[in-house]
Amino acid sequence: MTATNSEKKLSDNDFIISKTDIKGRIIYCNEIFADMAGYPIGDLIGSDHSLIRHPDMPKIAFKVAWDLIQSKKEFFGFVKNLCADGSYYWVFACISADLDASGKIISYTSVRRKPTQSAIDAIIPIYKLLQNAEKSDDIEASSSLLNNFLFENNTTYDKFIISLQKEMELKN
Ligand SMILES: Cc1cc2nc3c(=O)[nH]c(=O)nc-3n(C[C@H](O)[C@H](O)[C@H](O)COP(=O)(O)O)c2cc1C
Which strand ranges, in their side-by-side order, compose the sheet holding 105-113?
A: 26-29, 16-20, 105-113, 88-99, 75-82
Q: Per-domain residue ranges for the chain?
A: 16-115
Binding-site residues, ligand 1, Cβ < 6 A: 18, 20, 24, 49-50, 52-53, 57, 62, 79, 81, 95, 108-110
Q: Which residues pair with 48 in a beta bridge?
A: 25
Angle at 71 between CA 65 and CA 73, to 5 degrees: 65
Looking at residues 150-156, what average pLDDT do you find? Answer: 92
Mean pLDDT check: name the lowest of 37-41, 88-92, 157-161. Answer: 157-161
Residue whose Cα lies nearest atom 22 of ligand 1: it is 50
Q: What is the pLDDT of residues 41-91, one digit of tens each?
A: 999 999 999 999 999 999 999 999 999 999 999 999 999 999 999 999 999
Specify whether the CB–CB gap between 88 and 7 falls below 8 A: yes
Question: How far does the centroid of ligand 1 lie from the alpha carbon of residue 136, in Å?
Answer: 23
Question: Is it true that domain 16-115 has CATH number 3.90.550.10?
Answer: no
For every residue of 61-130, DSSP letters joined together read: HHHHHHHHHHTT--EEEEEEEE-TTS-EEEEEEEEEEEE-TTS-EEEEEEEEEPPPHHHHHHHHHHHHHH
Q: pTM of the predicted model, to two decimals?
A: 0.93
pLDDT score recorded for residue 147? 94
